[in-house]
Amino acid sequence: MIKTAIKTKAYAANGSGQELKPFEIQRREPGVNDVLIDIKFCGICHSDLHQVRNEWGNSSFPMVPGHEIAGIVAKTGDHVTRFKSGDRVGVGCMVDSCKECNSCKDGLEQYCEKRMVLTYNDIELDGKTPTYGGYSERITVHERFVVRIPDSLPLDKAAPLLCAGITTYSPLMHWQAGPGKFVAVVGLGGLGHMAVKLANAMGAKVTAISRSASKKTDALAMGAKEYLATADSSAIEKAKESFDLIINTVSSAADMNMYLGMLKRDGVMVLVGAPEEALPVHPFSLIPKRKSLAGSTIGGIRETQEMLDFCGKHKIGADIELISIDKINEAYERLSKSDVRYRFVIDIASLK
């Protein structure tokens, strides 16, 4: 068991689907390679909701969610070279990995061949110590899994970049979104609104796809050039075979064949949304025009830093609703109904 020492206030769910309540955890004193971070803000990702509700079937409780962490370095271990106290930093979805396999060596820790250690709802590499996330006052993390937040970005609007930002930046880069590419983003929530902003900044022509017309003005302001409401069947017909790349962020079961119909020949639809249900795909949604269906998860640490620097340069932050921690259960209810514009962020000062 890792030695724990620093009493830390947090919010936790004690069982599947239960409300989050005040809870006390212990953080370890920083080891030689560790950074102790005072958390200032933490975003609320739909993955937090899936896991608190045990929708992926792998939840363990008590659970302190939160993997969109922005804060200030409080203390560093003796061998830490990249950070000093007072630095503005972030932590995303992972806090460790084997650090030795080919994926880790390639900077793709999220695809670690042994396992990455998730920021919460996981066990440290010692096989015993549970991990607890960012709905808490502070966190101790190996410096390799800490990234720097550019001065040009406010910490509250930067917090969602640590998951929503990197999860969409990584596939946009991998599948080469850029000038001349027609990119669609499905679902205008936390991930989707970041995907629109990022793809637009990369130079792609972006279409935002939502269920209704209600987010149109916002999407165009984020950089979308076109907007498609799937409630309008004639708009779906018009969009047939028009995109090179679709970033699909939907969080519950939806008809994937409908979206695949909008891909051009050789187009790719990347699933980043992770509904609990299987998503049936008809072979003829893929075969006739040599289309691909792919998946992607978060991004490596090197790429996360690259994404933050890109956002710093282009002044891209999330559109947020800042809440105090006592509003967390209300925020979960609203998130489950897609009623957020576009990311809830917890002001951790309200926890103290």
- Chain positions contacting ligand NAP, by CB under 6 A: 45-47, 50, 163-164, 167, 187-192, 210-211, 215, 249-254, 272-275, 297-298, 335, 338
List of long-range contacts for 288-292, beta carbons under 8 Å, 24+ apart:
289/241, 289/263, 289/264, 289/265, 290/265, 290/266, 291/260, 291/263, 291/265, 291/266, 291/267, 292/266, 292/267, 292/268
Residue 91 touches Zn ion, criterion: CB under 5 A: no
Residue 348 touches Zn ion, criterion: CB under 5 A: no
Q: Residue-wise over 100-118: b if at least 16 C-beta within 10 A, else e?
A: ebebbeeebbbbbeeebbb
Residue closer to Zn ion (CB basis): 194 or 219:
194
Contact region for Zn ion (CB under 5 A) — 11-19, 47-55, 144-152, 204-212? 47-55
| Count of Cβ atoms closer than 10 Å to residue 324 Cβ | 12
Closest by CA position to 165, among listed 182, 144, 150, 180:
150
> How far is the C-alpha of 130 from the C-alpha of 128, rounded, in Å?
6
Q: 134 is in the binding site of which of ligand NAP, Zn ion, none (Cβ under 5 to 8 A by kind)?
A: none
x/- map, 280-309, Zn ion, by CB under 5 A: ------------------------------
Q: 210 is in the binding site of which of Zn ion, ligand NAP, none (Cβ under 5 to 8 A by kind)?
A: ligand NAP
Residue nearest to ligand NAP (CB): 189
Residue 47 touches Zn ion, criterion: CB under 5 A: yes
Residue selected from 10, 158, 163, 202 as contacting Zn ion according to rule CB under 5 A = 163
Q: 274 is in the binding site of which of Zn ion, ligand NAP, none (Cβ under 5 to 8 A by kind)?
A: ligand NAP
Q: With 0-12 CB in 10 A as exposed, 13-18 as middle and 19+ as buried, what is 342?
A: buried
Residue 346 touches Zn ion, criterion: CB under 5 A: no
> How far is the C-alpha of 45 from the C-alpha of 342, rounded, in Å?
10
For residue 116, the SS3 value is coil
Residue 201 touches Zn ion, criterion: CB under 5 A: no
Residue 251 touches Zn ion, criterion: CB under 5 A: no
Residue 49 touches Zn ion, criterion: CB under 5 A: no
List residues binding Zn ion (CB under 5 A).
45, 47, 163
